[in-house]
């Protein structure tokens, strides 16, 4: 099982009423970097909560996901969104430089072909456009404590999980800079000091 069918199967196990984790905090992060009138790609939109918040804030939004099941739920929850199914790999259905901002909330850790994915993100961003993303944080203190807990290793690295990448602030920064993103800002967020749950990253597409 691969591509859309794989992610459809994952979504089929998610309760219909489920909401994105830490939604209020992540929405605040996203809207804090978005201006009315901007063209935004919500890449990995899921059920469309962030896309709807962007539209309400005055952005022009394309909501995209690889899963038809996720898009069906988004269509039911938020009629009127510009919803598009995208391939797991390959070109996004947008023109070069079409977007002012790409938002990818809890997506990059699920991407197998990170190089191809970031290349496409960079292509659809205008020069100087921004990539905003969140991803689970695997910093030393929290990871060490999690691994020391009974069953911690199995939970963190569950072979049945759809997470295939594990980022520290340093590895995420290096990855983004390798793809000619600059002005990279990465902050641990969620949880509490010493035990943050996720990273919030802002990166600008370099103009060259």
Instruction: List, in order of start, the domains of the chain with CATH numbers.
Output: 3-205 (3.40.50.150)
207 CB-near residues (< 8 Å, 6+ apart): 127, 128
Average pLDDT on 44-69 reads 98
Task: Please give the Cα distance from 9 to 56 (Å, whole number).
Answer: 30
pTM exceeds 0.85 for this model: yes
Determine the pLDDT at residue 88. 87
Determine the pLDDT at residue 26. 96
Strand bridging mode 181-189 / 82-85: unpaired
* Inter-residue contact 107 to 43 (CB < 8 Å): yes
Encode pLDDT of 97-108 as tens digits. 999 999 999 999
Task: Please give the Cα distance from 104 to 107 (Å, whole number).
Answer: 6
Give the three-class secondary structure for 10.
helix
Encode pLDDT of 110-130 as tens digits. 999 999 999 999 999 999 999
What would you measure as the largest C-alpha separation in the chain, in angstroms? 49
89 CB-near residues (< 8 Å, 6+ apart): 112, 113, 116, 117
Determine the pLDDT at residue 157. 62
Encode pLDDT of 1-43 as tens digits. 456 788 899 889 999 999 999 999 999 999 999 999 999 999 9
CB contact burial 168-194 (16+ within 10 A = b; e otherwise): bbeebbebbeebebeebebebbbeeee
Encode pLDDT of 148-204 as tens digits. 667 655 666 666 667 789 899 999 999 999 999 999 999 999 877 766 789 999 999
Tell me phi and psi for residue 137, to 5 degrees: -90, 135
Sheet with strand 198-205: strands edge to edge: 82-85, 60-65, 39-43, 99-105, 125-136, 198-205, 181-189
Q: What is the mean pLDDT of the chain?
A: 90
């Amino acid at each position: 099982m691969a591509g859309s069918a794989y992610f459809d199967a994952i979504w089929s196990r998610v309760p219909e009423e489920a909401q994105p984790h830490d939604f209020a905090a992540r929405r605040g992060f996203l809207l804090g970097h978005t201006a009315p009138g901007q063209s935004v790609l919500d890449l990995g939109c899921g059920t469309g909560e962030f896309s709807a918040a962007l539209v309400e804030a005055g952005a022009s939004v394309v909501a995209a996901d690889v899963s038809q099941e996720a898009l069906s739920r988004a269509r039911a929850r938020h009629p009127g969104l510009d919803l598009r199914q995208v391939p797991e790999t390959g070109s996004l259905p947008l023109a070069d430089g079409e977007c002012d901002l790409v938002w990818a909330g809890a997506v990059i850790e699920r991407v197998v072909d990170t190089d191809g994915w970031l290349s496409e993100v960079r292509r659809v961003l205008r020069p100087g456009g921004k990539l905003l993303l969140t991803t689970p944080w695997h910093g030393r203190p929290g990871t060490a404590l999690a691994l020391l807990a009974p069953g911690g290793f199995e939970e963190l690295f569950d072979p049945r999980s759809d997470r295939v990448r594990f980022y520290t602030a340093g590895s995420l920064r290096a990855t983004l800079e390798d793809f000619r993103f600059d002005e990279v800002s990465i902050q641990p967020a969620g949880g509490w000091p010493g035990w943050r749950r996720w990273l919030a990253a802002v990166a600008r597409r370099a103009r060259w």
